[in-house]
Amino acid sequence: MTVKKNDKVHSLRKSGRDSDTNLLGNAYIRAVNRARIIDLFRSGQLMSRADLARHCDLSKPTVSAIVDDLINEGVLQEAGKRSSEGGRRARLLELNPGSSTFAGIHFGESVTQVAVTDAFGRILAKRFAETVTGRPEQSMVLARELVVEALAAIHAEPERVNAVGVSVPGLVSRQGGTCKIAPNLGWHNYPVAKELARLLGVEVYVANTTQTAALAEYQMGVARDVQDFVWLYVGNGVGSCAVQGGRIQFGSRGFAGEIGHVHVDSSDILCGCGKRGCLETTCSNLAIVRAFKQAMEAGGQPTSLSGKEKITAQDVSQAASNGDALAEKVMKDAGRALGVGAAMAINMYDPQMVVIGGPVAGADEIFLSGVRERVGELALESAGTDIVFSHLGRDIYLQGAVSMAMEQSNAAYRIVKSARSMDIDDSDDADSATHSASL
């Protein structure tokens, strides 16, 4: 979307009327500078106008003009003076936390979560409900209700929401934010961004859960500021997202990272995708439970879970932590099976780190040792790659969705918006609210 919009700006610059072309050029530069200044304040820094001029390499009058606008709009506020020995004390500015709100929505396999934040992206309120499956239009209405409830909890009007980020466990097209398929939600070709934008009246950006999770991991998790890493999801499914040079790798359509559905010869099990022998049939939560039950039925080894009616992957992991030998073996084998995928990712991307997240992230270390062991056997060169669990917990998708909304709302489309407000003949009838993320 960014590329398309930028192209639009370029074409307008080339073909527009002279006066408009100049105006657009100025608006473009001003919007970029404005975005850079807002970005600096979002990190929580207190800065003076002189600090900003230095940081952004801009003239003081340029900075002052933008800062004055931002103060008038309530985006920035005075934050006292810097103490100094001699000379004038610089007046400091900060982001007004109440100036805007962002919302994140995560359509989880079992729970739909919503969070609303302050202008810094700090989560202020959360709401959740059981996920509705098979009826996406109902899921959208539910998400809207949760957003409205969460906003009420922080006494914020819906109009104050700047942008919404959405995380979906499925294939999400970058063009238009349509979910092509989300097997666990029962969604097919559903225009998530368009429908939510219609219901909420703000810009909505949609990405796959591994993509939002990788973004959160890059900003605040174990991979903070790590430029090259691979985020591996292990839950009922298995997926991945590669970050290279600090940028999420979406692929040409947004569908990159479906490592759970590469074929492995060790399996002939029918996968949820309809094919046989996918990687995820060997190491997902479902695979762990299946393997454990088979091992139990085969007998030969006692287990602390015998007699338990419904066994989950968490139960197996917990039993492994408690020294249950059968559970330990199953977890180790599942780790080794995931190691096949991790080794592929390492051979493909040469990452500094592989971060394993999703429900399995709280699993026993024996799972991780299985992954490392198999990677050591299979990857050509794995010595430089750390393999670790994510520590961000269940909020990771919400946090990533919020970060995506914040980045996008401060990105290039603002520039086009500025150009539009100057009455330039812009025939682009696409609603900016209906585009998916391009981090």
Alpha helices, DSSP H only, in 278-395? 280-283, 285-298, 313-321, 325-349, 365-378
271 is a site residue for Zn ion (CB under 5 A) = yes
We find the least distance from the C-beta atom of residue 273 to Zn ion, in angstroms, to be 3
278 is a site residue for Zn ion (CB under 5 A) = yes
* Cβ distance to Zn ion smaller for residue 224 or 276: 276
273 is a site residue for Zn ion (CB under 5 A) = yes
Instruction: Please select the residue that binds Zn ion; options are 49, 106, 261, 435, rule is CB under 5 A.
Output: 261
* Cα separation values, 292 from 312, 327, 335, 366, Å: 10, 7, 14, 15
We find the least distance from the C-beta atom of residue 286 to Zn ion, in angstroms, to be 12
Instruction: Please check whether residue 283 is in contact with residue 339, taking contact to mean a CB–CB distance below 8 angstroms.
Output: no
Task: Supply 384's token pair.
Answer: 């430089």
Distance CA 373, CA 151 (A): 47
* Cβ distance to Zn ion smaller for residue 242 or 259: 259
Instruction: Please check whether residue 220 is in contact with residue 212, taking contact to mean a CB–CB distance below 8 angstroms.
Output: no
Task: Supply 419's token pair.
Answer: 């150009």
The region of 26-34, 89-97, 123-131, 265-273 touching Zn ion under the rule CB under 5 A is: 265-273
We find the least distance from the C-beta atom of residue 276 to Zn ion, in angstroms, to be 8
Distance CA 365, CA 213 (A): 21
We find the least distance from the C-beta atom of residue 143 to Zn ion, in angstroms, to be 27
Task: Supply 361's token pair.
Answer: 């992230």
The region of 8-16, 55-63, 163-171, 263-271 touching Zn ion under the rule CB under 5 A is: 263-271
* Cβ distance to Zn ion smaller for residue 278 or 311: 278
Task: Supply 35's token pair.
Answer: 């975005």
* Cβ distance to Zn ion smaller for residue 278 or 355: 278
* Cβ distance to Zn ion smaller for residue 26 or 266: 266
**Number of residues that make up the chain:** 439
Exposure b/e, 28-45, CB count within 10 A at least 16 = b: bebbbbbbbbbebbeeee
* Cβ distance to Zn ion smaller for residue 261 or 336: 261
We find the least distance from the C-beta atom of residue 338 to Zn ion, in angstroms, to be 15
Instruction: Please check whether residue 76 is in contact with residue 94, taking contact to mean a CB–CB distance below 8 angstroms.
Output: yes
We find the least distance from the C-beta atom of residue 282 to Zn ion, in angstroms, to be 11
* Cβ distance to Zn ion smaller for residue 206 or 271: 271
Backbone torsions φ then ψ of 299, nearest 5 degrees:
70, -165
The region of 12-20, 50-58, 66-74, 257-265 touching Zn ion under the rule CB under 5 A is: 257-265
The region of 14-22, 164-172, 272-280, 352-360 touching Zn ion under the rule CB under 5 A is: 272-280
**Identity of the amino acid at 213:** A
We find the least distance from the C-beta atom of residue 269 to Zn ion, in angstroms, to be 10
The region of 21-29, 176-184, 254-262, 421-429 touching Zn ion under the rule CB under 5 A is: 254-262
Residue labelled with tokens 């919020």: 402
**Identity of the amino acid at 20:** D
233 sits in the region (left: phi over 0; alpha: psi -120 to 50; else beta) called beta
* Near Zn ion in 23-52, by CB under 5 A: none
Q: Site residues (CB under 5 A) for Zn ion?
A: 261, 271, 273, 275, 278
